Amino acid sequence: MDVSTIIFLGIIAVVAVYGVIIYNNLVALKHNVSKSWSNIDVLLKQRHDELPKLVETCKQYMGYEQETLEKVMKARSAVASAREAGDVSRLGPAETQLRMGLGNLFALAEAYPDLKANDNFKHLQQRISGLEDSIADRREFYNETVNANNVRIEQFPDVIIARLLNFKERDLLEFSDEEKQDVDIKALFN
> What percentage of the chain's residues is helix, strand, coil (to nearest 5)?
80, 0, 20
What local confidence, expressed as pLDDT, does residue 59 receive?
79
Q: Is the distance from CB of 132 to CB of 54 less than 8 angstroms?
A: no
Distance of CA 91 to the CA centre of its chain: 7
How far is residue 173's CA from residue 122's CA, in Å, rounded to a whole number? 29
Among 6-20, 110-124, 175-189, whose mean pLDDT is lowest?
A: 175-189
Q: 64-90, pLDDT tens digit by residue?
A: 577 888 888 899 999 999 888 888 888
Q: 156-187, pLDDT tens digit by residue?
A: 999 999 999 999 999 888 876 554 444 444 44
List of domains in the chain: 3-188 (1.20.1440.20)
What local confidence, expressed as pLDDT, does residue 183 receive?
43
In terms of pTM, does the model score above 0.85?
no
Helix/strand number for the chain, H first, E second: 8, 0
How far is residue 32's CA from residue 64's CA, in Å, rounded to a whole number? 46
One-letter amino acid for residue 111 of the chain: A
